[in-house]
A and B are shown apart, each in its own frame.
Chain A
């Protein structure tokens, strides 16, 4: 057992419940030489919330996390924790905990020693340490494994040690850098729920980084969608899914049917869009982040569940837009049926509840594809890095 005599002053309060834990990020940029990996990010994270930074790899989400942790300093802008500017304050004096992607457990310590490390640095009596470590070993479900070496643990157990090691210090903020990415699906699902549960019990602010949108929507109160060093949208998982503000967000969260087009004419409140499947007339309110000018390129987006596949001849309700198509494929997904429909030269995906009208359709049948104009979202096409994130060219 290593004798650790601590002499560092920590701002982490012992014993008091973590009522704090708010983070404010104001106009933060981070550049390495010529390349700007984070540009002008502003974000406010409330105390006790579960916030996910979501984006494709290289979008700057990990950089943002490392800025909060204090491993790196912003080139411009200010980061505050609990209303206090932390620029220039070293990591060890910030009230944070962190779970690393590679976990970064100390291989020369046992499970117990790993969890006790931070407490020992804080000069806490060994009796208290024993009690607290025991408590957290139980919280994360590692009873009886205290004397194990790190090399003797499974992936999921290591994960739990990393979590306990940070949480035992009761930080007001816990930063998690893709901690579940190395685990298999089954274990990941299981840990996603235990993470969420632990967060609810401790009321710690969790800032979670992931590139998995499913994980993000499942766990968080708030999702920050990032791309190319910029914040694309901030909102609840539901609002980000239902009301994406940019084409990037729309494509990154869930599945979407895309129809490239151009604005043909503007008549009052209506836009006429020329697309590969024909002319579509949409209200101006569906245009998000698109400056509607005649001749402007645009993308018509439709969630698969908003697209109905009906037998030919089904009458379209008022205001409903309808096209003819052919059913190419039908996949039964239990409660849903996933139809692949060909309209002209475009393949569209539609999800319908099992037991609806579409049931009578078979592969190869002609059908009618219908959707409500208000369910459509109209965006500007992606350019530059945003397009590259999906492997597209401008």
Chain B
């Protein structure tokens, strides 16, 4: 490659798509900020004040955070066995990976409707449990926080599987054998060698899933309760039903701030846990 090539206009044209992309991205962010911080003609914190003044809105934030933490932990814990299985299955790994990823080929909305079929009052799970005789009255598995947690966990598990698997695949191939020769059984080898070395992948999954959850919209709308809103569904409502763009923008900026703060905290925790690992 010759790096000393003279400037040519046709080449300069090639950066145009990038410029358009960046322009749109920053343009929309600037527009968002201007919407949130202006009322009438000038600068105003009016919409933020409206959010802070409502205790039920604060509950929405807290609910979103707690549900997201639960989903992230649940997804990572449930993904570990799957990732380990894929790691072990040398020959079948790609095949099994496709099975893990197949749900992504189906639209998120369709998948979530699938959960409605399963979790509804007359849904599959309730019907089964009543038929077996475990319960007499249907459980409310849906249109509440539980429904959102189940739905989001299901949607996000493949992220965790891929992330943990990639960490496991980086483990040098006979570290386990070395551990066994030194006297460790399978459980100890997992505890002291495999688990610590796969933690970076688990942490990446935790962070990505948490961030995906606090901004989730579709699942909370379809599986969440009417009075138990999440930040995402709240913003959606402000835009689609209340047509209050300024308030929606203020909500969005709060969400952005929350994401950023969470990321800083999670990174701190990650560094502490993985301290000493390269």
User: B177 contacts A108, CB within 8 Å?
Assistant: no
- 25 A-B pairs whose Cβ atoms sit less than 8 Å apart in the complex: A4-B188, A6-B188, A8-B183, A8-B184, A8-B185, A12-B183, A71-B180, A91-B180, A92-B180, A92-B181, A92-B185, A98-B177, A98-B178, A100-B174, A100-B178, A102-B172, A102-B174, A104-B177, A105-B178, A106-B193, A107-B197, A108-B197, A117-B179, A118-B182, A122-B183
- Quick check: is B276 within 8 A (CB to CB) of the other chain? yes
Shortest beta-carbon distance from A159 to chain B in Å:
14
Could you say which of A7, A12, A100 has the most chain B C-beta atoms within 10 Å of its C-beta? A100
Which residues of A have CB within 8 Å of B183?
A: 6, 8, 10, 12, 92, 118, 121-122, 169
- Quick check: is A165 within 8 A (CB to CB) of the other chain? yes
CA distance A97 to B180 in the complex (A): 10
- Quick check: is A299 within 8 A (CB to CB) of the other chain? no
Which residues of B have CB within 8 Å of A7?
A: 188
Which residues of B have CB within 8 Å of A279?
A: none
- Quick check: is B5 within 8 A (CB to CB) of the other chain? no
Which residues of A have CB within 8 Å of B175?
A: 104, 106
Interface string of B234-278 (1 = CB under 8 A from A): 000000000000000000000000000000000000000000111
Shortest beta-carbon distance from B75 to chain A in Å:
24
CA distance A110 to B278 in the complex (A): 11
> Top 4 nearest A-B pairs by Cβ distance?
A118-B182, A104-B178, A91-B180, A98-B181
Query: Which positions in B face A, CB cutoff 8 Å?
Result: 172-175, 177-185, 188, 192-193, 196-197, 276-278
With contacts A104-B174, A106-B175 taken as known, whether A117 is within 8 angstroms of B196 at the C-beta atoms is: no
Q: Which of B174, B185, B192, B197 contacts A117 (CB 8 A)?
A: B192
User: B180 contacts A2, CB within 8 Å?
Assistant: no
Q: Number of contacting residues on A, CB 8 A?
A: 32
Q: Which residue of B lies closest to A115 (CB)?
A: B182
CA distance A41 to B188 in the complex (A): 34
Q: Which residue of A lies closest to B276 (CB)?
A: A108
Shortest beta-carbon distance from B177 to chain A in Å:
6
Which residues of B have CB within 8 Å of A4?
A: 188, 192
Q: Which residue of B lies closest to A105 (CB)?
A: B178
Could you say which of B183, B184, B185, B278 has the most chain A C-beta atoms within 10 Å of its C-beta? B183
Q: Which residue of B lies closest to A121 (CB)?
A: B183
Interface of A is mostly: loop
Shortest beta-carbon distance from B68 to chain A in Å:
29
CA distance A149 to B276 in the complex (A): 9
CA distance A6 to B185 in the complex (A): 10
- Quick check: is A309 within 8 A (CB to CB) of the other chain? no
Which residues of A have CB within 8 Å of B178?
A: 98, 100, 104-106
User: A117 contacts B181, CB within 8 Å?
Assistant: no
User: B188 contacts A121, CB within 8 Å?
Assistant: yes
With contacts A10-B183, A92-B184, A149-B278 taken as known, whether A71 is within 8 angstroms of B177 at the C-beta atoms is: yes
Q: Which residue of A lies closest to B174 (CB)?
A: A104
CA distance A120 to B40 in the complex (A): 70
Which residues of A have CB within 8 Å of B193?
A: 106
